[in-house]
Structure 1
Amino acid sequence: MQASALLFLLSLFSSTQHVSAANDGVVGFGIDLYPDLCCQTCRDSLSTLYLSCTTFPNNNASSMDSSGMKKRHDDGEPMANMPMTSDECRTSNLPWLQTMAYCIQQNCNAVGFGTVEQAKCFSKEAVSGAAKPTLQESIPTKVPTVELARDAVWLNATSLVNSELYYATYGTYAEFGRSENYHTKYSVALIILVIGSVLACGIINQVIAISPGFQKQIQTSRIWSKFRQHLFLPALVGSRHLQPLPGKLGYVPSRILSINIGIYVILNIVFSSVSFGSFQPNIAFFSWQFEICEYIGNRTGTLSLVNTAIAILFAGRNNLLIGLTGWSQTTFLTLHRWSARVATAQAIVHSVVYTAAYWEPGYTGAAAYAAQAAMPFYWWGIVATLAYALAVSLAILPLRMKAYDTFLLIHIGLAILALVGCWYHLVPHFGLDYGYQVWLYIAFAFWSADRFARLVRLAYYNRFGSSEAIVEEIPGCDIVQVTVFPRVSWGFGPGQHSLLYIPWIGAGKFWESHPFSIARWTHGESSLVTASETHGLSDVNSDQDIKMEDTSVQVSSRTSVLASGTQNRASIQFLLRGHTGMTADLRKHMSLYSYGPSMDVAVYNEGPYAGHRTTLQPFQLADTILCLVGGIGITHALGFIQEFASINSQRGEGIRSRSKIMRKAKRLILAWSAREMPLIEHVRQNFLIDSEGTEYSFWCTDRDFSATKGEKITAGRMDISSVVRSSVETGHQTTVLVCGPGGMADEARQQVISCVRDGFRVDLVEESFCW
């Protein structure tokens, strides 16, 4: 965790320099839209009036009609043909100076705006920052009595600002500013509540992990047992959790996670729906309906940006919250998907209300909308909303399961398009005045920090070059064994996985990587340990061993030769099942270019990940560890078996183990069900270690397999209920580790809940890659 934290913090710090360098903040936090509202209202109530020094095209007043009213100019008329009132003109025009000064004095005094602030704002608003003339010098000696008409065109004498226009302008700005402040308040509240609640859970988990006594008190508490039984362990409804919904619609989060997601969704609904007001008469909006649409659109747009940043944070595999909380990346990806869905829903509402607004009273419907939609900032917003919608719609489980690499490429591309669309929707149109871009800076920072950390990991663990690896087929099944000799060996342990890049195979898609559980690791101090060398498991089923084809032993022999020839080199091993994408390309490459059951390849290793202290906390006080495994899920359990055997070996030699887990465990049970008998035999011969306290049971679900008398391999499906019940003991702590198909994991969860209900002390640790 320490390395991940350091990498992420360094990259996040470098990425966030743009946020701090922006020097603007957001509305309410660094940006005040109307710091001197009374002054700004005075200026904007007078700024459209012509002065005696106003210049007109061709030095005449042809833009005025005979009645003195302004002519309406076509929208496309160049600014050069418009009348211009320069700053120098206003600074030297007495009616302007005295009218502004009196307006500021009278109206700002009424709202308690101090004289010093009045002087500053007069300099800013009336004379464009000039030192002279001052407010006091410009106050008229005689109080003006004539009020300007609402439709006045010229300011030729010191006058009173039209009261109706001042009231409408002041109220419009005040209500708009209030609304923008609420947008920010709810946005800040949301990101603090979401990330803060996760941080709080992480801190609690860290305290529990470093306090075994406190941890034991919690585990023996009846209240905690009830919470686990009814809140933390169960699925939302029924027993379905890791098993996909019918039609592969997705996975149902656990009950506690579902409750938190529900609270998060409700918060977003509330924050998107409250604290709206309207002010009429309004100088900016022709109807209160359009005004409300504007405020709802701005609120949902801002919250969508905030949720986008949250979604990007939760998607990163270098996310510091993973190590802090001990939650799996699967959990954070579930949170990522829900925050992305909420962000998308808010983006759609943002687009819908802004579209509907042009059909409200005072607007021309399709014509007004078409004029807006033709502007670049507007159609960039449409592009962003469509990208959001497509990214969420195409993240369906069937596509992720059948073509994950394709899904990921499309998903990242659409996410980038959405962020680019947001940028060009906001910044060219609003500039930096409202601070909307800050939420994009945060999203960019989270994304670039994670990507930069990945590059640093690759560079560090591979020393700017590829690592050697040997790929070996396991005959009789679609599994291959990959042994990697990393250039840097550091921090490998149980419960970890690593991402492998093999760019030299298939279509040469160098960007593709896949996570694989680390089945075994060595630090170069001794050769790889095989089961046959322990003289334990090789005798469990000698008849079955004889029946296996000679080719099934070739990998074992190759492994032993490999071990003896590389005993001074660190290594990590993986077992990969060929599906689609990279793993399918690897097996195809072996069949085309390899002249034997193995081949050498160059790989890049990005890892290790996971295996954090808080994740492994349930193993600290466990007396018994039960590994319930299905299929290729054995790779995750093998690391714990290796660690348990290592602790036992050191204990037997009188050496105090440095391991922080399983120190108390005296019993480790492996219950493994797999379809392929060759895979079972390969793991038994090459990975499983006959150590004191270890118990191994196997089930083969291949229809063609039939167990013979005396075998310890059972034909058919595992009876999970009897396995779990046989492992628990009164007064002992049992930790159940599950890594297998969704149906198996859900059944194990139900059995653990049943045991907790009956008074047994049982923890559940699930490992699933439901990505």
Structure 2
Amino acid sequence: MKQLNFHLFFLLLVGCLSVIKADSAYKKYGPTLKALTSCQRQLSNTAVFCTTGKTRGNKCICTNPNALATAAGCLSYGHRNTTAIFKALFASCEAYNVTLTVDDMVEAYQNYTKYAIHASDIPNFNAKSPVHVPIRLNDTNIRLYMEAYDKYLGNYDNSLYYSVGVIGYWALVFLVAIIVNWSQVLFPGFFKILTGPISNKFRKHITMPAAFGKKKTTEHKVLKIFHFLMPSRFETIVIIGFLAVVIAVCSAQISYVEGDPVFDSKSSALLRYTADRTGIVATIIMPLLILFAGRNNFLQWLTKWNFATFITYHKWVARVDFTLVVVHAICFSASYGDYYTEVMKRKYMKWGYCCNCSRRNNYEVFLTIHIIFAALWIAGTWIHVQDLGYVWFVYPSAALWVLDRAVRIFRLICFGFPEAQITLLFNETLKVVVPKPKYWNSVPGGHAFIHFIRPTCFWQSHPFTFTNSVQEGDQIVLYCKVKGGITHGLNKYIASHPGRTARVRVGVEGPYGEPTNAKIYDTAVFIAGGNGIPGLYSEAVDMALRSKENNKQVIKLIWIIRENKSLLWFYEELLALSQTKIQCTVYVTKPKGDINNVEYNEVIKLSSRISQSENDSTEEVDKKEKSKYVHEKTEVEFEPSDSEANSNIGAIKSEFSHIEFREGRPTIEDIVDSEVKESNGSIAFVTCGHPMMVDEVRYSVIEQVDKSDGKRIEYFEQLQVWA
């Protein structure tokens, strides 16, 4: 399915781009157009040759012999009168139904050498009155115009080249990631022996840690107002490199020509150069912004980076792009000075400000109406640059944005919209059992976006990890922690139904993600916290099923929960572990009596009910065996006595005899240290759960990297935080 989506994405992209036609093609100035434009502007600033039509266009040069002669003289300076320049001039004259030849240019130059005179030699010369002879131009002025337009128009060309350099920077980063990450897949044995001091120090100080301190997945707060996530140190290096390239690109070859005849002042010239440079760079890097944020980003498959990594880069590209747009708008407006009001009446200026304003730096508002803002931004940019030739660089952005959503819809339609059975467990977790199509292959450790088709929330999609149902192979199970937003609304809705169970039609988009490379290591330790268990469970089980019977690979699953009743909502999956080679340990941080008869009975009945509804051959629960633990459910909630709670806990532990239970809060550092010492070879740690726990696991693994006595230690993180 992943390959299908990958190829579908590209087919749609190629098809979309093939029907696009620009109204204004991109214009590369180069020496030819710079020379023509500088001479044309110098002529119009020196004298008036035509009494009708535009005096600043090429029409006057094409139709007036004195203007053509003066232009021929201007182009002869510095031997710029090349065949390429003549062809460009001839092409512009054909737009006015005027056909010129090389012989015409030779004759025009002869007229210049014979008849041209300085403007100061014309009696009663008036710069606003037409002249009837060629004007001899001053060589110093010709050179000044040439240098000025080399700066002004050359800046457009340079902006394109330098912008491509920014894209090239990311291409280099991707190339390195592709080589390194795919090499680990293709040559696992080679990487397992990389345990020398250089390799260990590089991983310990570059690839594994957060940029600063321990926190990476845990939010940082500043003044209780600003919240942000710290990227990894490697991501930080990539981001710093990106910022350095952008600063260099926006600064290179921005300088002023003394006496510049194009702009009124040095400040106006520098402001305009900066405005053009930042605006072009912002437009050309826009496809990166869209691509990085896409769920169906083919670069995830190529680089084997997860969605969270690309969202980190997306945010920084967005910040840079937004800053460039703001600098572009301010500098462009300031460069016009007193003409600002008049310029703002133009359509492209209005839409330029429209797309700028749609990028408000308010995350909650941006999140709520993200699609509207993104569409406005792309549309505004499209119209803003349509007549400037840069619309070609907006097409990929629009195509990527539309196609990502087309693939999302395609995934939803292919999955269908089945009815899911949703059960509220202990007012804290929603268990969602969804029938899946036969073609739909679950990805161990993957996640899917689910739409609950209800009037109040059908348009929203939220990501959750999932496992295959242990009851039926054609079902997936998602466990959704009840928080605010959509899960809070579902909580109230499900709680109002008998048995706190209801059937709700859903749409599932996925699967996304992929399993880690933990499967290539001699020991794989999965450390989950709370609701982080489903993804790690599915990956560990898949790894166990793929292991050969004589395989010495050790697979461990460690689950840290707060209360004993959390065991009940993952009851069936924990029972199924008895049929695998997985060594499971459960830490209960607050093990006091907290499972009453109602709760325990509810889960046992739920498990039995699901089994009976899905498999008629399910055997009836042995009532004699359960009678000492299971009581009839009543409508009255009550607090269990210690003996009652202990009785139910004892029943659970007897059923989970294949699981080791430990009470109290574990020390992550001790767990990691112990597992490293016990491993007989390479070892990988995979974690998902509360951000603080995940950060603690990351830090503890890093501390062990260079203390492992030649063992390769690796760390994988399945928690993806992108909010």
TM-score exceeds 0.5: yes
Q: 2:69–2:134: 8 Å Cα contact kept in structure 1?
A: no
Question: TM-score, normalized by length of structure 1?
Answer: 0.77
**Counterpart in 1 of 2:370?**
411
CA drift at 1:355: 4.0
Gap regions ≥5 residues in structure 1: 56-81, 400-405, 522-527, 530-562, 655-663
Q: Is the 8 A contact 2:478 2:534 kept in 1?
A: yes
Determine the C-alpha separation between the residues in 2 that align with 1:743 and 1:7.
Answer: 39
Amino acid at match of 1:737: V
Q: Kindly tell me: are residues 121 and 25 of structure 1, through their superposed partners in 2, closer, same or farther at Cα, counting changes over 3 Å?
A: closer
Percentage of identical aligned residues: 25
Counterparts of 1:5 and 1:441 in 2: how far apart (Å)? Answer: 20
**SS of corresponding position for 2:184:** helix
2:495/2:501 contact within 8 Å kept: no
SS in 2 for 1:491: coil
Retained in 1: the 8 A contact 2:428–2:481?
Answer: yes
Q: Which of residues 472, 491, 495 is equivalent to 2:423?
A: 472
Are residue 753 (structure 1) and residue 711 (structure 2) matched? no
**Could you tell me which of 710, 714, 719 is aligned with 1:763?**
714
DSSP-derived class of the 1:16 partner: helix
Distance 1:99 1:439, change over 3 A: closer
Secondary structure at the counterpart of residue 272 of structure 1: helix
Aligned to 2:565: 678
Match of 2:556 in 1: 669
Answering whether residue 311 of structure 2 is matched by residue 330 of structure 1, we say no
Distance 1:287 1:18, change over 3 A: farther
The answer (yes or no) to whether the contact 1:469–1:484 under 8 Å persists in 2 is yes
Change (3 A) 1:376 1:123: closer
Superposed, 1:276-425 pairs within 5 Å as 276-357=254-335, 363-364=337-338, 368-388=339-359, 390=360, 393-395=361-363, 399=364, 408-425=367-384
| Cα distance change, pair 208–274 in 1 and its aligned pair in 2 (3 A) | same
How big is the shift at 1:591?
2.8
Q: Give a deviation string over 1:533-586, Cα, whole Å, max 9, x none.
A: xxxxxxxxxxxxxxxxxxxxxxxxxxxxxx4xxx7xx22111111222332232
Residue-pair matches, total: 644
Give the aligned residue type for 1:696: C
User: Given the superposition, is the C-alpha separation of residues 353 and 731 from structure 1 closer, same or farther in structure 2, using an over 3 Å criterion?
Assistant: same
1:255 to 221, 228, 233: 233
Which residue in the other structure is 1:238 paired with?
213
5 Å-filtered alignment, 1:429-508, equals 431-432=387-388, 435-462=389-416, 466-474=417-425, 476-503=426-453, 505-507=454-456
Deviations 1:44-102 (A, max 9, x none): 444586557x45xxxxxxxxxxxxxxxxxxxxxxxxxx8899999876x6xx3255146
Give how far 1:681 is off.
2.6
Which of 580, 587, 603 is matched with 2:484 structurally?
A: 580
Among 183, 197, 221, the alignment partner of 1:207 is 183
Q: CA deviation at 1:310?
A: 1.6
* Equivalent position SS for 1:262: helix
Q: Give the direction of change, closer, same or farther, for the CA distance of 1:300–1:175 in structure 2 (3 Å limit).
A: same
CA distance in 1, matches of 2:218, 2:357: 31
Native 8 Å contact 1:497 1:608 kept in 2: yes
* 1:584-603 correspondence to structure 2 within 5 Å: 584-592=488-496, 594-603=497-506
Deviation at 1:480, TM superposition (A): 1.6
Give the distance between the partners of 1:589 and 1:42, measured in 2 at CA.
75
In 2, the alpha carbon distance for the partners of 1:675 and 1:89 equals 84
Relative distance call for 1:726 and 1:646 in structure 2 (3 A) is: same
- Counterpart in 2 of 1:75? none
Amino acid of the structure 2 residue aligned with 1:755: Q
Write the distance in 2 (CA, Å) between the matches of 1:610 and 1:99.
Answer: 67
Q: Distance in 2 between matches of 1:411 and 1:88?
A: 48
8 Å CA contact retained: 1:123, 1:135? no
Tell me the residue number matched to 2:168.
192
Counterpart of 1:143 in 2: which secondary structure?
Answer: helix
CA contact (8 A) 1:731 1:761 kept: no
Q: CA deviation at 1:36?
A: 4.2
CA distance in 2: counterparts of 1:184 and 1:320, whole angstroms: 25
- The Cα of 1:596 is off from its aligned counterpart by 3.0
Task: Give, as a single letter, the amino acid of the residue that structure 2 aligns with 1:699.
Answer: Y
Cα distance change on mapping 1:665 and 1:482 into 2, 3 Å = farther
The separation in 2 between residues aligned to 1:616 and 1:480, in whole angstroms, is: 26
Superposed CA deviations along residues 671-700 of structure 1, whole A, max 9, x for unmatched, are: 111234333133243444114532222123
1:630–1:739 CA contact under 8 A, matched in 2:
yes
Aligned CA distance change for structure 1 residues 151 and 623 (closer, same or farther; 3 Å):
farther
d(CA) in 1 for partners of 2:703 and 2:58? 80
Counterpart amino acid of residue 402 in structure 2:
S
**Is this contact kept in 2: 1:43–1:126, CA < 8 A?**
no
Change (3 A) 1:741 1:151: farther
- Relative distance call for 1:172 and 1:736 in structure 2 (3 A) is same
Evaluate the alpha carbon distance shift between residue 674 and residue 723 of structure 1 in structure 2; reply closer, same or farther with a 3 A threshold: same
- SS of the equivalent of 2:182 reads helix
What is the CA-CA distance between 1:182 and the residue it aligns to? 1.8
Once the two structures are overlaid, the 10-residue window that deviates more, 293-302 or 165-174, is 165-174
Cα deviation, 1:640-692, whole Å, max 9, x if unaligned, reads 232134235xx44x9xxxxxxxxx56322121112343331332434441145
Q: Does 1:225 align with 2:112?
A: no
**Equivalence for 1:546:** none
Distance 1:494 1:86 in 2: 65
1:130 equivalenced with 2:98 (yes/no): yes
Secondary structure of 1:186's match? Answer: helix
C-alpha change, 1:33 and 1:673, in structure 2 (3 Å) is same
Q: Secondary structure at the match of 1:670?
A: strand
SS in 2 for 1:298: helix
Structure 2: how far apart are the matches of 1:109 and 1:407?
Answer: 57
Partner amino acid, structure 2, of 1:35: T
Shift of 1:205: 1.3
Measure the CA separation in 1 of the matches of 2:57 and 2:372: 48
Provide the secondary structure at the position in 2 that maps to 1:518. Answer: strand
Question: What is the TM-score with the length of structure 2 in the denominator?
Answer: 0.81
Provide closer, same or farther for how the CA distance between residues 144 and 587 of structure 1 changes in structure 2, counting only shifts above 3 A. same
- Structure 1 residue 157: deviation in Å? 2.9
Structure 2 residues without counterparts, runs of 5 or longer: 595-644, 654-659
Instruction: Rate the CA distance shift 1:145–1:244 in 2: closer, same or farther, 3 A.
Output: closer
CA RMSD of aligned residues (A): 3.1
1:125 is displaced (CA, Å) by 5.0
**For residues 453-505 of structure 1, what are the alpha-carbon distances to aligned partners after superposition, in whole Å with 9 as ceiling and x for unaligned?**
2122222232xxx123222232x2421211111234333131111111122x2
2:152 to 163, 166, 176: 176
1:506 and 1:677 mapped to 2: Cα distance? 36
**Corresponding position of 1:274:** 252
Cα displacement (A) at 1:109: 3.7
| 1:616 is the counterpart of 2:516 | yes
**Shift in Å, 1:131:** 3.0
Q: CA deviation at 1:190?
A: 0.2
Between the aligned partners of 2:56 and 2:717, the Cα distance in structure 1 is 72
Structure 1 residues 129 and 223 mapped into 2: Cα distance closer, same or farther (>3 Å)?
A: farther
1:313-341 Cα offsets, whole Å, 9 max, x none, are 11111111111222111111111111111
Partner Cα separation in structure 2 for residue 575 and residue 665 of structure 1: 32
Amino acid aligned to 1:292: L
Q: Secondary structure at the match of 2:524?
A: strand
Q: Distance in 2 between matches of 1:318 and 1:511?
A: 19
Query: Could you tell me which residue of structure 1 aligns to residue 631 of structure 2?
Result: none
Query: Distance between the aligned counterparts of 1:253 and 1:13, measured in 2?
Result: 34
Mapped partners of 1:326, 1:495: distance in 2? 14
Q: Deviations over 1:258-307 (max 9, x none)?
A: 11111111222222223112224334310011000011111122222234
Q: Can you list the C-alpha shifts for 1:148-207, whole angstroms capped at 9, x where unaligned? A: 359533444332344376455433322212211221121110012113312331233113
